[in-house]
Structure 1
Amino acid sequence: MPDLDEQTQLELEAAAFRRLRQHLMQDRPDVQNIDLMNLAGFCRNCLSRWYQEAADARGIEIGKEEAREYYYGMPYDQWKAQNQTEASPEKQAAFVDAFEKNVGSTS
């Protein structure tokens, strides 16, 4: 791997994040958040939460809905109405397990 200065590494990581966001939001909006969480242990909401946490770590106050709107490019409820489908009871049960394992307790 090339020896990268810190700024270049930061820019490459930011570019990779933007490409991941584009892939999930534009190229594959059909992939459901519940499927992402059940298979990979994270989803679009996790990415928006991580964005919010990164802002908080820098002393920038961004609310949950603001972070989601940034990530989704629209209000979250609008995204859900346009792209989200009803999950089967099996997927919902798997989600509870995946969420608890990767994020924490749902209660």
Structure 2
Amino acid sequence: MTELSQQQQTEFEAAAFRTLVEHLRKRSDVQNIDLMNLAGFCRNCLSNWYKDAADAAGVGLSKEEAREIIYGMPYEEWRAKHQNEASETQKAAFETNKPAH
């Protein structure tokens, strides 16, 4: 395995994260509940983890600011444009599989 410096590892992780966020922005057809049911996390989880990292670094980032970073727009605007009402099947699957984080 190639030995990476800490700086390289951080840069590559950041690049992968940016690619994931951009992919999720482009795939607004994929609902958060679907992500939660299949992968155990969603865009909101990513924004919470982003905020947690900012908090740990002593940076005062609000929940709304973190969500805007992940969604690429204010959360309420994204919801109005892209979020659909979850089906009963989706809701039932979420209740069965919801992660503890």
Q: Give the TM bin, normalised by the shorter chain.
A: over 0.9
Q: 2:5 maps to what in 1?
A: 5
Q: 2:100 maps to what in 1?
A: 102
Q: 1:62 maps to what in 2?
A: 61
Instruction: Report the CA distance between 1:29 and its aligned residue.
Output: 1.3
Sequence identity of aligned pairs in percent? 60
Aligned partner of residue 30 in structure 2, secondary structure: coil
Determine the C-alpha separation between the residues in 1 that align with 2:96 and 2:61: 28
Determine the C-alpha separation between the residues in 2 that align with 1:98 and 1:36: 11
Instruction: Report the CA distance between 1:6 and its aligned residue.
Output: 0.4
- The root-mean-square deviation of aligned C-alpha atoms, in Å, is 1.1
TM-score using structure 2 length = 0.93
Alignment: residue pair count: 101
Structure 1 gap ranges (5+)? none
Q: 2:28 maps to what in 1?
A: 29
Instruction: Report the CA distance between 1:63 and its aligned residue.
Output: 1.2
- 1:42–1:102 contact (8 Å) kept in structure 2: no
